[in-house]
Amino acid sequence: MKASEKTPLCDSHVKLGARMVDFSGWFMPVQYDGILAEHYRTRSDVTMFDTCHMGRFFVTGPGSMDGISRLLTTDVRAMEDGQCKYGFLLREDGGILDDLITYRFNAERWMIVVNAGTLPKDRDWIRSRLPAGVAFEDASVRMAKIDVQGPNAFATVTRVLGVDAASLAYFRFKTFEYGGEAIVSRTGYTGEKGVELYVDASRIVELWDRFIKGGVKPAGLGARDTLRLEAGLPLYGHELSEDVTPVEAAMERYAAKAEPYVGSEAVRRHREQGPGKVLVGFKIEGRQSARAGQAVLHQGRRVGIVTSGSFSPTLQWVIGFAYVERILACVGNRIQVDTGRTVLEAQIASLPFYKAV
Amino acid sequence: MATNNLYFTKDHEWLKVDGDEATVGITDHAQEALGDITFVELPKVGKVVKARDSLLVVESVKAASDVYAPVAGTVSAVNDRLGATPELINQSATGEGWICKLKPFDASMVGSLMKAGQYEALLAEH
């Protein structure tokens, strides 16, 4: 697929000398001054990411809670105003259409944040299945988003924007004024403290420039990937896809509500039968990395496949995710990864690989 | 570094000839394109390669890439420092980031490689 979509910050990236790549059809920065430097800067200080490519939907009106509760694995009825929650959009057979975060403004106003590559599919799926009278808006173009992440993220947001983010609890959000309604949520995809900032798209370049002037350096998709991997967070298209259920992804806790939803019957059946394969984290001593698509072996037999793998800049060894036969999916078990040139000794590890102190 | 004994391939390796020994590395353009190098799979001393054989693999954060032998030869030494500090290639691709030495090597093939000016012209085309 050729990158055809550009975020409003595209020119800013090019001006900063970013290396641009195609990501899910979007022309996005993979790095600015280097993946490792950007990774370390996020772990030790603060960086910001252009995440405008992700989708933002608003679902509003009486019946909106019933409508999205039927479609998402998220227990939206248990949410409070100002809370965000992770969950899935499933097919009837339990296959994962997307992983997403739901924001509750109030019982009749919700925002759903989805992945870039799945945006059109999600939009059609959700819109066509909402009950009559519930309003659906794809605000992905109208609103823009950047993530500010790192141990100094809250102080930076206060200094640059005058917005207090430090008092927000984890997975909580609030609105503020920034040329209209803006949102700050204590969420992210790095395993660090940090926020996601949603503002009107017409103001995003100005917002970005304010952080640049405030001394914040941007980080690209390369560092975003190594950061999320260390934090043990799955990436749609790698760990998650329509071919796996939340049971196989070892994320049943995000699909555990009692109320029926699209896919709940399949998830229940799958849990009772027991999945054939399960997602695990693994680590490899040394620097030679396993990569997505490589075979996982156990005693010479093929028992699974790597979905992500990278040298971990923070840990200084190799980490990754793989689907393996359920019977082998125990922390501490030894497995091997066939890179095609060599066989690497790996060990199933507990998640997350890295946790901010 | 003097360039009169330095040769280049279209796959962005360099070969520096010193008498009966030749040193191999990847070019500054190559390290820049790869990004942060996190691992070098060094060849074993004694490995015999033909020209264009895969000599070793360098890994960046995002991908693994083959490095090909610019000429035929036998690996006579490797840069052990790359084991713990592969970033030497990023810092000094044609200096401290050298990868291995070939001895003996097929000196008759050196003439088919590019000189610095030709290599720079190749880069300018892209």
Q: Are B124 and B92 in contact (CB under 8 A)?
A: no
Q: Identify the bridge partners of residue A101 per DSSP, sorted by sequence position.
A: A86, A113
Confidence of residue A175 (pLDDT cuts 50, 70, 90): very high
Distance CA A144, CA B33 (A): 30
For the record, the structure tokens of B79 come out as 């840069």
CB atoms within 10 A of CB A271: 16
Decide which of 3.50.50.60, 3.90.480.20, 2.160.10.10, 3.30.1360.120 is the CATH code for A10-51+141-230: 3.30.1360.120
| Any B CB within 8 A of A36 CB | yes
Question: Is B20 part of any domain?
Answer: yes
Which of A19, A222, A288 lies at the smallest CB-CB distance from B61? A222
Helical segments of chain A, H only: 10-15, 35-44, 64-71, 119-129, 153-161, 204-213, 221-230, 264-273
pLDDT, tens digit (0-9, with 9 covering 90-100), for A315-356: 999 999 999 999 999 999 999 999 998 999 999 999 999 999
pLDDT, tens digit (0-9, with 9 covering 90-100), for B70-118: 999 999 999 999 999 999 999 999 999 999 999 999 999 999 999 999 9
Question: Is B95 part of any domain?
Answer: yes
User: In this complex, do A35 and B35 lie within 8 Å of one another by their Cβ atoms?
Assistant: yes
Fold of A276-349: Elongation Factor Tu (Ef-tu); domain 3 (2.40.30)
Average pLDDT, whole number, for chain B? 95
pLDDT, tens digit (0-9, with 9 covering 90-100), for A214-246: 999 999 999 999 999 999 999 999 999 999 999
User: In this complex, do B61 and A311 lie within 8 Å of one another by their Cβ atoms?
Assistant: yes
What is the number of domains present in chain B? 1
Which of B35, B38, B63 lies at the smallest CB-CB distance from A287? B38
Domain ranges for chain A, please list them.
10-51+141-230, 55-138, 276-349
Helix, strand, coil in percent for chain B, rounding step 5: 25, 35, 40
User: In this complex, do A289 and B38 lie within 8 Å of one another by their Cβ atoms?
Assistant: yes
Containing structural domain, residue B80? 8-106
For the record, the structure tokens of A333 come out as 């078990």
Instruction: Report pLDDT for B115.
Output: 95
CATH for B94: 2.40.50.100
Question: Is B80 part of any domain?
Answer: yes
Q: Are B9 and B116 in contact (CB under 8 A)?
A: no
Instruction: Report pLDDT for B4.
Output: 80
Distance CA A93, CA B59 (A): 39
Instruction: Report pLDDT for A4.
Output: 83
| Chain B stretch 9-48, residues whose beta carbon is closer than 8 A to a beta carbon of chain A | 35-36, 38-39, 41
| Any A CB within 8 A of B85 CB | no
User: In this complex, do A287 and B61 lie within 8 Å of one another by their Cβ atoms?
Assistant: no
Q: Distance, in angstroms, between A112 CA and closest chain B CA? A: 30
Distance CA A220, CA A33 (A): 9
Instruction: Report pLDDT for A2.
Output: 61
pLDDT, tens digit (0-9, with 9 covering 90-100), for B34-44: 999 999 999 99
**Domain spanning A55-138: CATH superfamily:** Aminomethyltransferase beta-barrel domains (3.30.70.1400)
Distance CA A189, CA A166 (A): 17
Distance CA B126, CA B107 (A): 29
Distance CA A139, CA A109 (A): 13
| Any B CB within 8 A of A287 CB | yes
Question: Is B94 part of any domain?
Answer: yes
**Run of H or E residues at A114:** strand A109-114
Q: Are A295 and A340 in contact (CB under 8 A)?
A: no
Of A36, A288, A111, residue with least CA distance to B56: A288
Of B51, B52, B55, B101, residue with least CA distance to B72: B51
On the question of a cis peptide bond just before residue A313, with omega within 30 degrees of 0, the verdict is no
